Every structure is written in C-alpha cells, then in structure tokens.
Amino acid sequence: LFHMVAKVRHLRTVLSENVRLRKQIARIEDRVIVGNSCATRKLRETIQVVAARDCTILVEGESGTGKELVARALHAQGPRRREPFVAFNCAVIPETLLESELFGHEKGAFSGAVNRQIGYFERANRGTVFIDDIDDVPLNTQVKLLRLLQEREVHRVGGQKPFKVDIRVICATKVNLGELVEIKRFREDLYYRLNIVSIRVPPLRDRKEDIPLLASFFLSRFAKKLGKDLRGVAQRSMESLLHYDWPGNIRELQNVVERAV
C-alpha cells in the first residue's frame, strides 16, 4: 500500500508538471524565443530594445542556438515588420555563385546567364536581409558587401550602374570574426561596419532551465504534426535531457524529440 501511495503521488507530480508546461507552451506559441531562464529573458529584452533601432546587427552564437530565430524576432518587432524578410546562408552557396546570388546579375553577364536575376538584397528592398555564416564570404565579395552597407547601393554582376536599396542587414556567425580579422581572412572595415550592435545567443548548456519547456514545446509540435496524443515527457527521460551537454544545442534537442515522437 505504501508503494502504491508513493507511486500515485509521483504520478500526480509528473502530471502537475506536464500541465504547467503545457500552459506555458500555450502562452508562447506565437513567440520566437522559448524559455524562462535568466539568459533567455535577457536575450528577449535585448531583442526588444534593439529591434526598434534600424541599424546593422551581428548575431553571434554556436551552431544550432537559434541565430535565425533571433533575426526573425528582430524583424518582427522592428519598423520593417510588414516588409520582406529574406534569409540566406553563405556556407551553402558555392563561392563562384555567391556574388551573383547576393547582388543579382544581368543577362549575358557570364556563361549561363541567359536571363537577368534579381539578388537577395534587391528582393528584400524595404525589408530585412539575414546573412548567415557571414564568415564564409570571400574577401573579394566582402568589398562589395562593405560598399552596400555604406552606400546602400546594389551593383548587379554585369550591370552598368548601381541602384539604391532600402534594407536592414542582420548577419550571423558561429566563429569569432575578430580572430579572422587578425589573420587577414575577414576585412577589418567590414567587421566594424557589421558590429554596430552585437547580440550573443547563449548555448543550451548555459540555459538548461529552459530544457523542460523546450522539450515540451517540441513534443507538442511534433505530436500534433504526426497526429499523436502525447501528454508529456517522462521524469526519467527529462532527467536524461537535463544531464546532457547538448553540443548541437537547440537544433539537437529538437531532433531528439522529433525522433522520440
């Protein structure tokens, strides 16, 4: 009887915790940054303050920490919220095509350019451009990027003259750009132009208090997506999640929960 009472009490505790987490999830469905830790609250406060200031922002953080989510939050809370948000990752675009993708090209600018192409900066006119892995931009393209930030002008590959664009630029990096400047792999003048305001996104190991809420958030999302009725995370499973260091950060946690579902 004693063991049965203890088990019932334990189940009530787990159920109460799951109910509490589900209520919190319901309140944050429309938010971008999930969590109630001190680090996460500070991050949200920084976003709220900086979003209203229409300046270039550098978002720093390890891979998988949610740098693009921070950029989207800055856009959503800023004066350009009703305009386009255009995101691209420099690491996934071949170096030979990067300049054309960023700035666009005119018909006949090079072999294979059978039509004029509008670049990412032009597509985002009046809105926000998010450049992920800015450290992968080659030095020759960094010169054109610096000019764009200074003059707000785009010069298509093969074009005769530049034209004005009205954009906000948010860049992200998972490495220390200052160290790249020291070894001449990143232009110093571009670094200072990008680093007007910097926001550091904390790794998940520094905000472990957020893991129960994040796990329940992802559980709710994937259960709904897959049509499963899952009510919460078992205590032993949650303890395992809390004791892991998450080198892949939130992206790794999301993948683990999706695989479990």
Confidence of residue 17 (pLDDT cuts 50, 70, 90): low
Q: Are 84 and 130 in contact (CB under 8 A)?
A: no
DSSP character at residue 127: S
Contact between 213 and 220 under an 8 Å Cβ cutoff? The reply is no
Entry pTM: 0.82
pLDDT tens profile 87-136: 999 988 888 788 888 888 888 777 777 687 888 999 999 999 999 999 99
Q: Tokens representing 19?
A: 């109910």
pLDDT in tens, 236-249: 999 999 999 999 99
Residue from 65, 57, 45, 22 nearest 194 by CA: 57
